[in-house]
Amino acid sequence: MAASVSALGLVMALGACSGEKKPETPTVQPAPTGQGQGQTQPSDGEGNKDTTSAPSEDTASSGSDGINTGCSLPDGDQKIPNSAPPVDEWVDVNGTGVPTSKTYGPEKREGDLFGCYAHSPTGALFAMVYFGAASGKPEGFLDAWVTPEDLATIPENRRGSSGDSGVTLTLRGFRFSSATQDKVTADLAWHVTTDEGQNATMVSRIIMKWSGDHWTMDPEMGDTPVTRAPANLDGFTLWSAGNS
C-alpha cells in the first residue's frame, strides 16, 4: 500500500501507460446532509487568486498535538461540487499549486505541512489536492494523514517520501467517484513533467476517510492505479491555479 500519491508513481505510470485506455466513468453517489451550518454551493466565485505564494506566517499553527488535531471548521455544504470551488489563495507545496480557503481549509499550516479541512466533499477535495502535492515529504506527514492503525499496515520501507523524483505536478481538474459523509473518492488530473522531458496528463484516484475531526488517507487508495487522462479531460471539472 502506498503511503501517499507519489510523484514517482505518476512518472512510472507515465512511462508504462499506452494512452489508449481511459478511466471508467464513475457513478456519483450524493452525500447525505451533514450537521453544521450550510455554506454556499461551490462555484466559480469572485475573489479567487491565481498567484502561487507561500503560506502566511500568521496562519501557521500545529500545536503540540499535531497539525491535524483540534480541527474546528464548520462542516458546511454536503453537496458534491459540480463546478470549480472558489479559492482564497493558491500556495506552493513541492512546486505544485495547492488551493486554500477559510471555508474549506486548511485551518492549520506549518511550513509545507497542512491540516484540518472541512467535513464535506469540497473540504475533502481541498485535502486531496494537498495530499497529492505533498507526496509524503513534509516532516510529520504520515502521522498527520494516516491513522495509527493504517500506518501499522504499511511496511517500513514504504513509509518514506518519494524523494527528489525530478517530477513537476500541475493540477488540471477533478472528477468525483462517490461521496458519503465519512468517505470521499475522487480522481485528480495532473499534468506531469519530468526532468527528462516527458510530459502527459495523468489521473490518480484519492480516497479520504473521516477520522475523529479530520480527513485521513483510506488504505484502499493503495490499490488504485494511475492512468492516462481522457482526451480533453472529458468528464472532469477543470480546476487549477490559472483556471479558477
- Is 1 a domain residue? no
Indicate the pTM of the whole model.
Answer: 0.77
**Which regions of 7-95 does DSSP assign to beta strands (E)?**
52-53, 89-93
One-letter identity of residue 122: T
What domain count does the chain have? Answer: 1
Q: According to the model, what pLDDT value does residue 191 have?
A: 94
How many Cα atoms are found within 13 Å in the side-chain-facing hemisphere of 217?
Answer: 32
Q: Is residue 244 part of a domain?
A: no
Residue 162 falls inside a structural domain: yes
pLDDT of 51 strictly over 90? no
Report residue 238's pLDDT band, with 50, 70 and 90 as the boundaries: very high
User: Does a structural domain hold residue 243?
Assistant: no
| Residue 223: per-residue pLDDT | 80
The per-residue pLDDT for 105 is 98
For residues 5-27, give the mean pLDDT.
44
127 occurs within a structural domain: yes
Summarised one tens digit per residue, pLDDT across range 177-219 is 999 999 999 999 999 998 888 899 999 999 999 999 999 999 8
Is it the case that residue 54 has pLDDT exceeding 50?
no
Does 153 map to a domain? Answer: yes
Please report the pLDDT score of residue 113 as a whole number: 96
Q: Grid coordinates representing 198?
A: 516527458
Rounded to an integer, what is the distance from CA 173 to the centroid of its chain? 11
In angstroms, how far apart are the furthest CA atoms of the chain? 49
* 80, part of any domain: yes
Relative to beta strand 167-179, strand 96-100 is: unpaired
Question: What domain range includes position 131?
Answer: 7-238
